[in-house]
Structure 1
Amino acid sequence: MLNYVDHPEGTSVNEEDTINIMLSELPKDVLNKIEVNGFDLICISDDAGKINYISESVKQVLGFTKLQLLGKSVFRYIMRDDQKYLRTYFDIKNSEEQKFYIHIRNQIGRYIAFETVMQVIRWEGQNRILSLSRDISDKKQAEEMLIRSEKMSIAGQLAAGIAHEIRNPLTSLKGFVQLLQGGVDSKSEYYKIMIDEIDKINSITSELLFISKPMTDDKNDENIYEMLSDVMTLLRTQANLYDIDLILEVDDELIVHCDRSQIKQVFINLIKNAIEEMTDGGKIHVLMKKIDNECLIAIQDEGPGIPRHLIHKLKEPFFTTKKNGTGLGLMISNQIIDNHKGRLEIESENGKGSRFCIYLPYR
């Protein structure tokens, strides 16, 4: 943590004034973009990440003075999990504009969420990297509130089916206890069945409790197959009520760096949507496999499909094709995947079902 004011290496106050003057010589399209969009932070760095220019707003946004940051590496202030993607951009020196969601450390050590647009520009006769950042903390808080609302809505919708699923093993357990009280033989066999029934109840209730928990923002290396299996356990009761078979096809057990609770929420949203679309029963295929440097999770249903002209609207907030839908599930899912540097692609044809493809970076 930096609590001191220092002059950057090789940068004097006069040189800083020169930098301010030279900022006006940025390409006209860049200056127009800055003026129109009103970014919170403007930063120019060399291809190693050394900061050559930082806007005066850094004091208000992060608490640092300009002189504390000039000459320092941008990577000193960016959350470790976000650095990998930024370093790739710096290494490749891609001339195309690219958007990142990153967390930048302020002077008191707290990380703030930013939406950052980066592009290579010509500045002072050299190629530099321009970063235009907007504080999205309030936006993320609003999204988290929507996610919590959607999670509780899902929990309520699943409650009846889960109660039925729990009642069945409880009835079995009651019967076995009565048999044991009567002094039957082969007790060890009954004990094993009873433990299996208890494990089934525990698995279902654990997943229901998971839905009710607040969203985290804690990324770790997670087994995608295990996460999908957990979600299948939770949703199988609802699928059975609709006469739907859930089929999981896995090439290999892949590990992805992600927030377990958030990605499981995406799986729940998409598979639950598929179930609700298939009112005449059928099969839902969930495929997981590695494609190049990505993990693909594809959810294919046999529902009525979505008209082509509506597909682009599915990720918009409050747009829904369901009578009692909130229109938030897909929007939330898309945002979660976007925050994981992944993408959500939707393929559908009216009358022929839909396919939702999640692509996540594989490591």
Structure 2
Amino acid sequence: MNGIITLWDQSGAIIYVSKSAERLVGYTVAEMIGTKWYEWISPEDISYLKKNLDVIQSAKQVFNINIQNVHGKNIWTENQLTPIHDESGNHYYVSATKDITDKKEVEEMMIRSEKMSVAGQLAAGIAHEIRNPLTSIKGFLQLLQAGVNREGEYYKIMVDEIEKMESITSELLFISRPMTDHKELENLPGMISDVVTLLEPQAGLKNVEILWQQDLNQDINCDRSQIKQVFINLLKNAIEAMEDSGYIEVTNYLQDNQVFIDIIDEGPGIPEEVIHKLGEPFFTTKQNGTGLGLMITRQILERHGGKLEILQNEKAGTTFRVVLPKP
């Protein structure tokens, strides 16, 4: 299908739409002219796009949204939105739209596969992390049953252990949920802390310690589930790269109106000649890897206007650097 070009004014009224739109939505051009742009997209995407219109007053942006056809069916589209103005100062928006339904379905299938793979790989560490608190709780209950008179102290420890298990299982359930595609302001350190909590058990199995240093309390405009998946993929890779024991450092900072998150491991590093291949489908340096994790990571970051940089450390190991725009 050819792309669709739409022009609408500041009030949202459609002034022009190319004839190719008829094949996508099933309405005629005449029926669409004069209507508001938000009459043609799914209700859940309306507020998302309206909130982001202020962001694109001076530069074009790309949005993935659902357009509803004449039968009420949602169609995934990629829309490049560019602000323009005439000599009188009137503002307009030009939208270049293409159908990405097939691409979206393939991406979602790969993401589901990778998410299930991650959940399976984390199972051993999580089982170990849950077994220890359960053993502790069982021991305290036996002491209480035997009449040991230290209820207050034991109850507090048991509650702490239960909360630890609850935190880990909540994060595991989170990564198994379907991803959404809606951006909101989210707290970056909070998301990183959640991921560190989830992956600490896996790191512990290899005697690896995650050093999470919160240098910046920054909100970012993102889809929470997708960005957390990015950090899960990268931190999991760093853990797997470590031979036995060591440290992984996670830092975040602001530079040139961009947010940087560095994940620095002490593994053997990545040969210079293969760094540029990382992120290609099915290319991996791991014996049992698929290469899909980094590919999905790059795609998610690109959808957020960000990027992934892979750097060799001076002494040993690799730095995976996530760069995202500051809202």
TM superposition score category, shorter chain reference: 0.7 to 0.9
Residue equivalent to 1:41: 4
AA partner of residue 298 (structure 1): D
Contact 1:347 1:354 in 2 (8 A): yes
Q: Give, as a single letter, the amino acid of the residue that structure 2 aligns with 1:252.
A: L
| 2:142 paired residue number | 178
Structure 1 residue 332, shift from structure 2 partner:
0.9
Name 2:18's counterpart in structure 1.
55
Q: Mapping of 1:4-23 within 5 angstroms?
A: none
Q: What are structure 2's unaligned runs of at least 5 residues?
A: 85-91
Matched ranges for 1:189-338 at <5 A: 189-338=153-302
Cα offset, 1:220, TM superposition: 3.1
- Looking at structure 2, the residues matched to 229 and 317 of structure 1 have their Cα atoms a distance apart, in angstroms, of 29
The one-letter code of the counterpart of 1:102 is: N
Give 1:42's aligned amino acid: I
Aligned to 2:87: none
- 1:99 and 1:115 in contact (8 A); partners too: no
Structure 1-normalised TM-score? 0.76
1:41/1:87 CA distance change after superposition, 3 Å: farther
Partner residue in 1 for 2:48:
81
Query: What is the CA-CA distance between 1:65 and the residue it aligns to?
Result: 1.9
Aligned counterparts of 2:178 and 2:163: Cα–Cα separation in 1: 25
Listed one character per residue, the Cα deviations across residues 320-340 of structure 1 (whole Å, up to 9, x for unaligned) are: 111100110011111122222
Contact (CA 8 Å) 1:306, 1:350: kept in 2 or not? no
**Are residue 359 (structure 1) and residue 326 (structure 2) matched?**
no
Q: Residue 235 of structure 2: SS of its match in structure 1?
A: helix
Deviations 1:294-344 (A, max 9, x none): 332221112222222322221211111111001100111111222223222
Residue 313 of structure 1: SS of its match in structure 2?
coil
What is residue 12 of structure 1 aligned with on the other side? none
Shift of the 260–44 alpha-carbon distance from structure 1 to 2, 3 Å rule, reads closer
Using the alignment, how far apart are the partners of 1:292 and 1:82 within structure 2? Answer: 26
- 1-structure distance, mates of 2:176, 2:35: 43
Within 1, Cα distance between the matches of 2:175 and 2:12?
41
1:100 counterpart = 2:62: yes
1:181, distance to aligned residue in structure 2 (A): 0.7
Any idea what SS the aligned residue of 2:276 has?
A: helix
Report sequence identity in percent.
52
User: CA offset at residue 99 of structure 1?
Assistant: 6.5
**Would the aligned equivalents of 1:39 and 1:132 in 2 still touch at CA under 8 Å?**
no
Q: Which amino acid aligns with 1:150?
A: E
Indicate if the aligned counterparts of 2:119 and 2:172 stay in contact, CA closer than 8 A: yes
Partner of 1:65: 28
Find the aligned partners of 1:118 and 1:205 in 2 and give their Cα distance: 40
Q: Deviations over 1:263-292 (max 9, x none)?
A: 111111000001101114321111123334
- SS of match in other structure, 1:210: helix
In 1, Cα distance between equivalents of 2:149 and 2:7: 79
Is residue 302–residue 354 contact of structure 1 (8 Å, CA) maintained in 2? yes
Unaligned runs of 5+ in 1: 1-37, 122-127
Q: CA deviation at 1:88?
A: 4.8
**Partners of 1:181 and 1:47 in 2: CA distance:** 72
Indicate conservation of the 8 Å contact 2:279/2:298, yes or no.
yes
CA change 1:68–1:293 in 2 (3 A) is farther
Tell me if the contact between 2:77 and 2:97 (Cα under 8 Å) persists in the aligned partners. Answer: yes
- Alignment partners' CA distance in 1, 2:319 and 2:27: 47
Distance 2:73 2:250 in 1: 39
Instruction: Report the TM-score, using the length of structure 2 for normalisation.
Output: 0.84
Tell me the amino acid that sits aligned with residue 106 of structure 1: Q
Shift of 1:143: 0.9
Structure whose CA Rg is larger: 1
Taking only aligned residues, the RMSD between alpha carbons, in angstroms, comes to: 3.0
Could you tell me whether the CA contact under 8 Å between 1:39 and 1:133 is conserved in 2? Answer: no
Pairing 1:121-160 to 2, within 5 Å after superposition: 131-160=95-124
The one-letter code sitting in structure 2 at the alignment partner of 1:64 is Y
Q: CA deviation at 1:139?
A: 1.1
